[in-house]
């Protein structure tokens, strides 16, 4: 998936040592000792490996494309060298609504002879169609509606494009026609065939059909005026005797649509509607049940977010190795679960080691330059491995790896279990002045008046500055603590907070309809809020929280700053998130006077999945700029600004809002309890010793 442009503030790892920097040489063995299992996929299927596919697949190498029969493996090429086996998931033909070559959109049938032959489709067939630039008043779009709207967090659409002469800018658009949630991308189309893709993060309100369009964005040749978006006439096939091709026309071929966070599979686009089942690559799992092992897998093009590299009874005490939606390496082995803490999906080498002493995960560019991503000193044994191991996805056929597999080796050699330090993204000139690591489990310090704090365990106020029954943003919760009585006359004993193993949990729950709801003004939900309003505030600085956010309809977690003086605005939102938009984080700042020119904010999409692990959210606030970070990546910057006063910290979990397109209200589908899990909250100032 595409991430916003940003720079790492500093190296992600602080203590995980690099073990070398020797380059991975194509064709050379990568194992240092005699393995108990060695599978090499660079050129053919190794002995003992079984491959199945239910229907045909398309193979693309460079600008050429050809069709492979079912059960024929695909091997990727780099130059003349075979780099490994390409394992893919299911995909279906995008074009379901067009039946005639001259209909609106693209046709899936009716091959047409092209002239000259160099204008054939990438597969050598006469199945390409042209886009003819029209006038804006014509209102036509070269688009297609996807009849079988897929469900899931992401959908992807792709198409092959080439110009008939010159180079120009064209715009791709994929949208939900009901909510108008959409993604756009301007691409440069050249005289060479190239495949372009878009990915759309779906939300519950996206209930319409999906539309995928190619729109002219800029004239071919010299640009004499500002680029403009023009409508297009419907696509038309090339036929002998038709009007000669003109500069500015574009050929299209191979449009498709699939569920997932990136377009992967190539499918046929002629004949009957195409569907290609997921590749199934299996081998005997007997060796993976060993009491100790070092499993090394080489992926020349890296892995895939949300993809599974290997699965051997992973749901039932076996072994599963893959990636979270944020790209963190994840291993489930026996009864243990390990998760990395940085996006390692681009690393070509993955290593899992296990023994009775513990389990550890490494990734890196080579086998000699591995970084320790996760480690636990606990025994995973026994490992209930099952009969078969499957490569590339789970046994259910979901979450395809969509990548090239070069080698898999297993040996009995393991190393001592190491220790993994959390990354440090704090700017060098800053010093810690306030914080809570939640190592002290005393919850009494979270209360109405923020009393009972001590060094290392500050007190927090359990509400905003206004009364608890005051509703803002049409939220549907009341912020509680155990002593809050509402209208009952005695404490309701609702505890939304817990601290366990250094993690604070803010818990959102349905209010008991008899014992609680009548005494909190018939609000349906309870939740929690912590603020440093009565204990700590500062002007400028670096602020950071490490947290895992809840997923589900209605959840609205936030980490933000408000002014010490009783006024609003200003406000700085280090993060806001929606449980229906787990792949997005919103940053923002609101100044006074509030107007379009003084309020700024942005959703940062597809950088992380905020619900799949503990991510680090940072803010550097200086006199001139306000800069936001996610896992050390600069994600948004706002400035100059006019916020120059003491502000305090807040973290809360709201439910519902005034705008269902922003935060929809909870309903029966909401997975209660909602948990906002916080590892730490810290504030730093520059030059403080």
Structural domains in the chain? 37-57+279-411 (2.60.120.200), 91-276 (2.60.120), 430-686 (2.60.120.200)
Mean pLDDT within 614-643: 96
Q: 280 in the Ramachandran plot: left (φ > 0), alpha (ψ -120 to 50) or beta?
A: beta
Query: How remote is the C-alpha of 363 from its chain's centroid?
Result: 19
pLDDT in tens, 334-390: 999 999 999 999 999 999 999 999 999 999 999 999 999 999 999 999 999 999 999
Residue 193 pLDDT > 80: yes
Residue 94 — very low, low, confident or very high, per pLDDT cuts 50/70/90?
Answer: low
**The pLDDT of residue 9 is above 80:** no
| pLDDT, position 102 | 33
Q: What percent of the chain has pLDDT over 90?
A: 56
Q: In this predicted model, which residue has the larger pLDDT, 488 or 63?
A: 488
Are the beta carbons of 363 and 324 closer than 8 angstroms? no
Q: Which of 151-160, 369-378, 567-576 is the least confident region?
A: 151-160
Q: Measured between alpha carbons, how far is 511 from 529 in angstroms, rounded to an integer?
A: 16
Pairwise pLDDT comparison (2 vs 271), residue with the higher score: 271
The mean pLDDT value for 624-639 works out to 96
Tell me the per-residue pLDDT of 540-565, one tens digit each, with 9 for 90 and over. 999 999 999 999 999 999 999 999 99
Q: Exactly one of 571, 591, 637, 645 is catalytic; name it.
A: 571
If you average pLDDT over residues 86-106, what whole number do you get? 51
**DSSP class per residue in 465-484:** SS-TT---TT--EEE--TT-
| pLDDT surpasses 90 at 91 | no
What tokens does 38 get? 């060695």
Grade residue 217 by pLDDT with cuts at 50, 70 and 90: low
Residues 275-286: tens digit of each pLDDT = 667 889 999 999
Phi, psi for residue 518 in degrees, rounded to 5:
-65, -20
Query: Residue 646 in contact with residue 564, Cβ under 8 Å?
Result: yes
Specify whether the CB–CB gap between 505 and 496 falls below 8 A: no
Angle at the Cα of 111 (from 119 to 236), degrees rounded to 5? 65
| pLDDT at residue 594 in the model | 61
Closest C-alpha among 427, 481, 409, 425 to residue 631:
425
* HSE-up (13 A, CA, CB side) for residue 509: 15
Q: Give per-residue pLDDT as tens, 224-270.
A: 333 333 333 333 333 333 444 444 567 777 777 777 777 777 765 54
Report whether 265 contacts 89 (CB < 8 A): yes
> Strands, E, within 420-510: which ranges?
430-436, 446-447, 460-461, 477-479, 497-500, 503-510
Q: Kindly state the average pLDDT of the residues 318-324.
A: 96
Tell me the pLDDT tens digit for each residue of 448-474: 999 999 999 999 999 999 999 998 999
Whole-Å CA distances, 589 to 52, 438, 574, 640: 53, 28, 9, 11
Q: How would residue 11 be classed by pLDDT, with cut points 50, 70 and 90? A: very low
Q: Determine the Cα–Cα distance for residues 178 and 202; give it in Å rounded to an integer.
A: 12
CB neighbourhood size of 373 (10 A): 27
Contact (CB, 8 A) for 526 and 508: yes
620 counts as catalytic: no
Average pLDDT over residues 98-120: 37
- How confident is the model over 188-217, as a mean pLDDT? 79
Residue 216 — very low, low, confident or very high, per pLDDT cuts 50/70/90? low
pLDDT band at 185 (very low <50, low <70, confident <90, very high): confident
DSSP bridge pairs for 93: 256
Give the Cα separation of 31 and 406 in Å (integer): 13
pLDDT band (50, 70, 90) for residue 655: very high
User: pLDDT class for 33, splitting at 50, 70, 90?
Assistant: low
Check if 576 is active-site: yes
Which alpha helices (H) appear in 127-193, and where do they start and end?
none
Nearest 10 degrees: CA dihedral of 470, 472, 477, 481?
-50
Pick from 651, 673, 672, 655: nearest CA to 664:
655
pLDDT, position 92 = 63
Residue 82's CB is within 10 A of a number of other CB atoms, namely 18
> Which span out of 31-40, 154-163, 476-485 was modeled with the highest average pLDDT?
476-485
Q: Is the pLDDT of residue 439 over 50?
A: yes
Catalytic-labelled residue, pool 576, 591, 620, 645: 576
Q: Does pLDDT of 202 surpass 50?
A: yes
pLDDT of residue 14: 24
Query: What's the mean pLDDT when you consider all of the chain?
Result: 81
DSSP string, 618-637: EEEE-SS-EEEEETTEEEEE
Q: What pLDDT shows up at residue 195?
A: 87
Q: How much is the pLDDT for 688?
A: 62
By mean pLDDT, which of 77-86, 153-162, 633-642 is the weakest?
Answer: 153-162
Count other C-beta atoms under 10 Å from residue 109's C-beta: 15
Phi and psi dihedrals of 182, rounded to 5? -150, 165
CA dist list (Å): 663 to 364, 472, 524, 657: 39, 13, 16, 5
Which pLDDT score is estimated for 320? 96
Residue 544 CA, distance from chain mean position: 21
Whether residue 221 is predicted with pLDDT greater than 70 in this model: the reply is no
Facing residues of 669 across strands? none
Q: Which whole number is the average pLDDT over 323-338?
A: 95
- Across 114-141, average pLDDT: 54
Count of C-beta atoms within a 10 Å radius of residue 228: 10
C-alpha pair distances (Å), 546 with each of 288, 419, 435, 436, 591: 35, 19, 12, 11, 26
DSSP string, 405-426: E-EEEEES--------PPP---
473-496 per-position pLDDT tens digit: 999 999 999 999 999 999 999 999
| Sequence-distant (≥ 6) Cβ neighbours of residue 428 within 8 angstroms | none
26 against 467, higher pLDDT: 467
Alpha-carbon span 164 to 617, nearest angstrom: 47
Q: Pick the more confident residue, 279 or 61.
A: 279
What is d(CA 322, CA 302) in angstroms, rounded to the nearest whole number? 11
């Amino acid at each position: 998936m595409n991430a916003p442009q940003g720079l790492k503030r500093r190296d992600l790892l602080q203590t995980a040592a690099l073990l070398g920097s020797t380059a991975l040489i194509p064709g050379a063995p990568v194992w240092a000792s005699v393995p108990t299992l060695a599978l090499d996929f660079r050129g053919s299927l190794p002995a003992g490996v079984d491959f199945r596919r239910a229907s045909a697949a398309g193979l693309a190498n460079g600008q050429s494309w050809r069709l492979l029969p079912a059960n024929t493996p695909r091997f990727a090429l780099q130059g003349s060298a075979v780099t490994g086996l390409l394992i893919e998931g299911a995909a279906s033909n995008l074009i379901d609504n067009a039946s005639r070559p001259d209909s609106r959109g693209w046709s899936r049938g009716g091959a047409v002879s092209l002239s000259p032959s160099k204008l054939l489709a990438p597969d050598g067939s006469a199945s390409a169609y042209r886009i003819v630039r029209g006038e804006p008043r014509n209102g036509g779009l070269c688009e297609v509606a996807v009849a079988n709207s897929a469900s899931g967090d992401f959908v992807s659409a792709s198409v092959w494009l080439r110009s008939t002469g010159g180079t120009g800018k064209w715009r791709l658009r994929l949208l939900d026609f009901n909510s108008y949630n959409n993604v756009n991308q301007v691409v440069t189309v050249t005289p060479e065939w190239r495949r372009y893709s878009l990915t759309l993060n779906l939300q519950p309100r996206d209930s319409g059909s999906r539309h995928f369009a190619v729109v002219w964005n800029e004239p071919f040749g010299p640009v004499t005026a500002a680029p403009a978006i023009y409508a297009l006439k419907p696509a038309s096939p090339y036929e002998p005797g038709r009007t000669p091709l003109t500069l500015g026309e574009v050929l299209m071929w191979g449009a498709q649509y699939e569920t997932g966070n990136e377009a992967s599979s190539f499918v046929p686009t002629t004949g009957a509607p195409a569907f290609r089942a997921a590749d199934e690559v299996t081998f005997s799992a007997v060796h993976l049940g060993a009491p100790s092992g070092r499993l090394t897998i080489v992926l020349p093009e890296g892995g895939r977010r949300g993809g599974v590299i290997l699965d051997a009874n992973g749901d039932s005490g076996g072994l599963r190795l893959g990636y979270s939606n944020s790209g963190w390496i994840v291993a489930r082995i026996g009864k243990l679960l390990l998760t990395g803490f940085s996006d390692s999906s681009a690393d070509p080498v993955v290593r899992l080691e296990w023994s009775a002493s513990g389990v550890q995960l490494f990734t890196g560019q080579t086998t000699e330059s591995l970084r320790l991503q996760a480690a636990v000193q606990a025994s995973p044994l026994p490992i209930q491995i099952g009969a078969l191991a499957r490569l590339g996805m789970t046994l259910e056929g979901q979450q395809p790896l969509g990548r090239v597999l070069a080698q898999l080796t297993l040996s009995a050699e393991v190393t001592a279990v190491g220790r993994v330090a959390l990354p440090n993204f704090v700017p060098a000139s800053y010093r810690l002045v306030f914080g809570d690591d939640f190592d002290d489990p005393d919850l009494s310090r979270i209360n109405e008046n923020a009393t009972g704090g001590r060094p290392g365990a500050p007190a927090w106020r359990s509400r905003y500055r206004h009364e608890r029954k005051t509703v803002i943003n049409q939220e549907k919760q009341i912020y509680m603590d155990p002593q809050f009585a509402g209208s009952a006359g005695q404490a309701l004993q609702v505890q939304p907070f817990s601290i366990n193993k250094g993690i604070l949990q803010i818990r959102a729950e349905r209010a008991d309809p008899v014992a609680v709801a009548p005494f909190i003004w018939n609000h349906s939900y309870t939740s929690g809020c912590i603020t440093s309003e009565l204990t700590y505030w500062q002007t400028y600085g670096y602020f950071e929280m490490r947290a895992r956010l809840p997923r589900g309809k209605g959840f609205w977690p936030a980490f933000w700053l408000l002014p010490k003086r009783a006024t609003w605005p200003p406000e700085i939102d280090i993060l806001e998130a929606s449980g229906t938009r787990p792949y997005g984080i919103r940053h923002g700042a609101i100044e006074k006077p509030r107007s379009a020119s003084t309020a700024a904010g942005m959703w940062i999409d597809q950088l992380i999945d905020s619900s799949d692990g503990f991510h680090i959210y940072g803010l550097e606030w200086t006199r001139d700029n306000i800069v936001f970070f996610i896992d050390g990546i600069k994600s948004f910057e706002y400035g100059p600004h006019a916020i120059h006063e003491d502000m305090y910290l807040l973290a809360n979990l709201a439910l519902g809002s005034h705008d269902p397109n922003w935060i929809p209200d909870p309903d029966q589908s909401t997975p209660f309890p909602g948990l906002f899990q916080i590892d730490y909250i810290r504030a730093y100032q520059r030059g403080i010793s």
